Chains A and B, each alone.
Chain A
Amino acid sequence: MTAPAPGTGDRDGPRLARGFHAASDWVAAGRDELNRINVFPVPDGDTGTNFSLTLRAVADALQALGPASLGDTASTAARAAVLGARGNSGMMLAHFLIGFAEGLEGRATAGAREVAAAVRRGAEALEQALDDPREGTILTVARDAALAAERAADDSPDIGHFLRRLHAESERVLARTPELMAVLKEAGVVDAGGKGFVRMIEGFVRVINGDPILPAQAPSPDEAIAPAALVDIAAERDFQYCTEVLVRGAGLPAANDVRAAMHDFGGSVVVAVAGDVLKIHVHTDTPDAVFTFAERWGTVTARKADDMRAQHRQLAHAERRRVAIVVDSTNDLADAALDRHGIIAVPLQVMFGTETFRDRVDLKPAEF
């Protein structure tokens, strides 16, 4: 089949897919800038990488899908985002796309009004999914831009007109994020996740305008193992592990029920359900208990637990220091002291009979 011309017509599956490809490339091209301005929730410099890799997962899934109806394309994108979500910004994007896909469900094509309604539904889904919605983030950018741009869809059936307006409005809202969040204002930056969202929309606009998309930078070698972003929204307390679980199964519980259950394990809970896939993000001290608990809902197909203290340590002193300080785990300094001074502790092994434990990782002083 011939590819539909970009521009003014109704949106169909292949056009939407092409938009996601462009958005993925455009966000990837701006990745370093997004990483640089990442100060919230935790200044860990990985929002660009996370947002970009989540969109890449979407683009890859659409490539594999091939030409399909608009509804199927959108739901494939949402599902891929849930599966491939990295960090907090990735999870927020996934929620947005879940709502977006719901808005286009069953449609072969859609005009400006329908797309505008779907974008707004995406923003609503995102807001409902968040445990502790904070203004000045992707949430604000997506919601306020969607509302403002809906008027453009009323003015003209031209989808390009709508997307350009959506882009302009999202830029405007993004510029306002420092007023909504003090930490951004102090650092003199806009919200990194919000900016990722704006760049995604810009990618869609550029493909319609026929503007060039810069080739994505090659991912750095360590990117594949880069940890997910740290979501410490007004950290209820200092949890150690950023934990994610992926569960597959028929008859998954409602996202709200899962979220309520996860509150017993920790904070910064984000839960997404798309079809037969459930993804849970939680900050906790007991990742193993979370993994075990999640088994009641289906088959746990992926899990990870990143030690946030270790990540924070490495970042906090990386810029000032040319010399890394490493000490073995028998040093007895408190974790807080290690963090504060940017000292890396490597575990020493303790043997009890035939069992080997890593000091301070598998064993806590209190167990003695």
Chain B
Amino acid sequence: MVGIFVSAALSGTFASAQAAVHAAGLTGVSLVNSRSASLGLGMLALRAAELADDGWTAPAIARELERIRDQSGALLTVDRYENLLRSGRVSRGKAWLGGLLDIKPVLEVDRTGRVVPVDRVRGAEQVVPRVLTLLEQRLGNRRRQVRFGVAHAEAPETAERVRTALLAAFHPREVLVAPATAVLGTHVGEGAWAVFYQVEDGTPERGDD
């Protein structure tokens, strides 16, 4: 079994799962800290399912997911960041956000799975172009094998616009669009959306042990 969980930096779920596996003395269970959330772990699960269908073992899948994870990430933006502050899911960005009431922040899920601010733009219409620019910086010019996930909280029109732009700009394997689930919806608030990118380049032939 391979278990894939929401970022350990955001939730205690991964730690709970580790403790449960340890306490029960389970073998054959590989746990992966997605260091992400929402479609970030959803897309890791999709990759895991593909590898499992190809006959990979659980430890090999887990290793490959961690490798993919370390070259992937997410950018997100919130319409009303009070939710983020209140829920305690923004650590270093908290003070920085404080006075910027009319400015839209762009945040990133960093390599450790924390949410940190990376940029800010004036006016909602500037957000999508800026996020695309930031994605280009992160993905580089080289054509990559990449999947995108666009998660949104009550912002389906924006999400669709982002999806169309991603298809044109990056020729990805796929772009998933999904409403954010209850858990994340409570943290980021209405109008928020995120782009998760998963870079799958360099997958070894077969990860058998």
Contact = CB atoms under 8 A, between A and B. Distances in A.
Contacts of A359: 181-183
B179 interface: yes
A331 B42 contact: yes
A332 B1 contact: no
B162 interface: no
A320 interface: yes
A333 B42 contact: yes
A343 interface: yes
B183 A327 contact: no
Most buried by B among A327, A343, A365, A367: A327
B182 A323 contact: no
Interface residues of B, number: 41
A328 B176 contact: no
B184 A332 contact: yes
A328 B179 contact: no
A330 B37 contact: yes
A200 to B, nearest CB: 39
Nearest to B32: A327
Given A317-B53, A329-B181, A324 B45 contact: no
Contact of B38 (A317, A331, A341, A343): A331
Interface of B: 1-6, 11, 13, 37-39, 41-42, 44-46, 48-50, 52-53, 55-58, 61, 149, 151, 153-154, 176, 178-186, 190
B176 A331 contact: no
Interface in A318-368: 320-334, 337, 341-343, 348, 350, 357, 359-360, 363-368
Contact of A321 (B38, B46, B52, B151): B52
Most buried by B among A334, A348, A357, A368: A368
Contact of A332 (B13, B58, B151): B151
Nearest to A366: B179
Given A320-B53, A324-B1, A331-B42, A348 B48 contact: no
A326 B46 contact: no
20 contacts: A321-B52, A321-B53, A327-B3, A327-B4, A327-B41, A328-B13, A330-B184, A331-B39, A331-B41, A331-B42, A332-B151, A333-B45, A343-B49, A348-B183, A350-B182, A360-B181, A365-B180, A365-B181, A368-B153, A368-B190
